[in-house]
Amino acid sequence: MRLEIPRYTERFGAVRIHEVLKVLELDSGPGDEEMPGLAVKRIPEALLAEVESQTAIVIPIRNEPLHLFEGVLSGIPHRCPIIVISNSDRDPVDRLEVEEDTFSQYCYFTQRKGVLIHQRDPELAKAISAAGYTDLLDEDGLVRKGKAEGMILGIFIARMLQAQHVGFIDSDNYFPGSVWEYCRIYAAGLALARTPYAMVRVLWRFKPKATSDERIVFKRYGRVSERTNRFLNRLMSTNTGFESEIIRTANAGEHALTMRLAELLPISAGFGVEPFHFTSLFKRFGALLPTNMPEVIDKGIDVFQIESRNPHMHENKGDAHVRDMAVEALATIFHSELCGPELRHEIMATAVQEGLIQEGDAIQAPRVYPPLGPFLDSFMELYAGDLERHYVPAGGVWQSL
Ligand code: GDD
Ligand code: MG
């Protein structure tokens, strides 16, 4: 893969946010020279392969069409371990069983191994509870529903598989080719990182939308992303005094993190999970509030934003869903300690004006889960026996990554 290297970076304390990088070649040919140039970098296939083998891909799934799930699986590079976290209905049809069949068949014929777990599995909840990560559990003692909660489980399991990085891929993607590209982008970005604390966020080149007269428009940004980007940039500028447009991946569902970074970040519930990465990085490492992690401050945090070549097309979940997502994203900024009264007022006014909430309604604070780091060791110990039950193909023992 050949891509631009960052020519412009904005710093917010220890957080280095690199401008959006474009992919120049999806495949940059054989050979292992990196060919450093002034503005372009070639990431050799061997290096991509090495990083891929260290990157567990977590696929959250809830009641998606099987055709989409199958397509997504086919796009994950062979070397990446796959972890599927399902919250699909078990009743009236046991969708989990169907997903397990699909995944087993895929793993069998492609000669790879994976893990598939239902988010509401009681044994899993027991281990989470015994490890002390009780915020994740609901009143029934099971792991809460939600994509972010599935992602947290994915990080726990990725760590058990000794992955050094973890990347997320939604299961409702129509284009396997874009899934493949996102995973390559993760590997390329992680290979560029100069610190153990790095994050790669995908910016879609286009998001095709069908119009009422049956044309397709290749839109650059969705409304939600445009608005969240704007307010996150405002959050930075109201604290630094310099206007900024550097953040363009506020809602990047497709993103990857080094495990070292994944362990130390709190995670927001709901669909504010991606913008919350930024607000919590700013809070903890933005040099505005005290922090007790000198190692991270010293090494810094790299945030790469990389633009894909493939367009992104996924299931249309309806307007109400998009509205909820928009409010949850804004809530992470609105409730950030770094958000002053003026910006809060602006966010509120925009949310009302754009019909996301009614005048007088509150913007609910997101539920925030604590960083996983302190709970990982005991979870791994407690869950080791049960994890084998979820290896696919059944009975397969996970071989070292
Ligand atoms: N395990 C699990 N548990 N997975 C879930 C759950 C759940 O409760 N709810 C949804 N998912 C899965 C879906 O099946 C899908 O694969 C993925 O999570 C994303 O959910 P969608 O409902 O498709 O979300 P979206 O497409 O509107 O939003 C996506 O893109 C946004 C950026 O545009 C998400 O990735 C957002 O987080 C992201 O901000
Ligand atoms: Mg979707």
pLDDT tens per residue, range 127-144: 999 999 999 999 999 999
pLDDT confidence bin for 397, thresholds 50/70/90: low
Ligand 1 site, residue 314, Cβ cutoff 6 A: yes
User: Which of 124, 115, 120 has its CA nearest to residue 83?
Assistant: 115
Residues in contact with 185: Cβ distance below 8 Å, sequence separation at least 6, in sequence order: 1, 23, 200, 202, 306, 308
Ligand 1 site, residue 184, Cβ cutoff 6 A: no
Nearest-atom index, ligand 1, CA of 168: 35
User: Which of 322, 349, 334 has its CA nearest to residue 232?
Assistant: 334
Nearest-atom index, ligand 1, CA of 170: 16
For CA atoms 344, 346, 352, 357, the dihedral sign is: negative
Q: Is the predicted pLDDT of residue 4 greater than 90, yes or no?
A: yes
Ligand 1 site, residue 167, Cβ cutoff 6 A: no
* Paired sense of beta strands 15-25 and 82-86, if any: unpaired
Which pLDDT tens digit goes with each residue over 164-213? 999 999 999 999 999 999 999 999 999 999 999 999 999 988 888 878 88
Q: What is the mean pLDDT of residues 218-237?
A: 90
For CA atoms 231, 235, 240, 245, the dihedral sign is: negative
The amino acid at 390: H
Ligand 1 site, residue 254, Cβ cutoff 6 A: no
CA 72 – ligand 2 centroid, Å: 12
CA 147 – ligand 1 centroid, Å: 6
Nearest-atom index, ligand 1, CA of 254: 35
Higher pLDDT, 355 or 210: 355
